[in-house]
Structure 1
């Protein structure tokens, strides 16, 4: 670490002018308003209001885990984010939720971009001598589902970026789709469903050329595999039940 780098200020509290108290353990970070307010709407608002704790210049974050805040503070001072080793869904979602609460959009974008790249790398890993390749993200769909339970709908583009790396490779297996269909709708949030359906629809559409897509939309198309004509029947209204004979 270079002596003059911003990251050196994170480990050396000189010139710090605000204390951030994190978690139930009340771990203290001596930070700098000029740095943390530039990327966090939460810190910017807190500092403008003269700090929650008045003259002590303290900001308390009891609901954020210290491990998550450590990654956030590192980002604010150096801008670096990476996924090291096996990804933990719980820890990743905790970090994302904390980042969203603090209003650090730049870190949320970096997390989604890094996750999408990691998923792409996972798909390129090959088995060795019959032993499946070890994945960094073991359950990507579960991760997306957990993220949609806390992420706002405004994060649509970032999450779609990740979902688009899952569907073309996994194709959403029949067993998984049947399980989703049989799940109580109250247990699946609409954000998660919308992401999957939108990405899956785009994936299916990519199997056809522009000419065939026009045919599909006009009720006739071609199979992307055998190229035979396929008729699509539009339902103009609800099906009519035959009248019962008396």
Structure 2
């Protein structure tokens, strides 16, 4: 399974410019009290802060101060700072500008404007996004000679997807349950992204019981030697699913 190095990353694939999405993410960071590492460009040292307030109507945030008075003075003098944090184990980077001193709940704090853009860097191989049920994502899996009764391929819906692989629903048992079996030239049709092709290897098989006394067979499939272009397409699709989920949670869709 291939890993993506920092040198191979196309940061634009992870960048968000939508003000509504940025506002929704700022609210989530505030509600979950996520720590934020704040640093001034050119300085090696950083400080930990958190969001004290998010004002979506004015597009401003209030950040806790550094414990160092000298560092606060440098932050105010710079007027902007780089921030790094995480949300649901996804790294987030952004730059805040227009930093000024303000008062919040009787204490001195830092006020700044919403970032113009931010980067959500989803790189955990096993972080999985559930795929739509109403319009399922389909995978075409070529079958070895003699494995399919009448077809030379299986067309199966995905249950979820990650940068490390997918979970398939194989209720007809077309692929078997042999751990380690690899299927080459598989094609996954990603909506609005396009088809991606690669090899899939069975890593687990699980029969999930249903209320009607039947079972759903779920197969965990790992990507094997997936081309970088295909991994980038998978990442773009995951990012799109996350944006749609965040929009629903924020009441924007």
TM-score (norm 1): 0.22
Q: Tell which structure's C-alpha radius of gyration is larger.
A: 1
Structure number with higher relative contact order (C-alpha < 8 Å, ≥ 6 residues apart): 2
* More helix by percentage: 1
TM-score (norm 2): 0.22
* More strand by percentage: 2
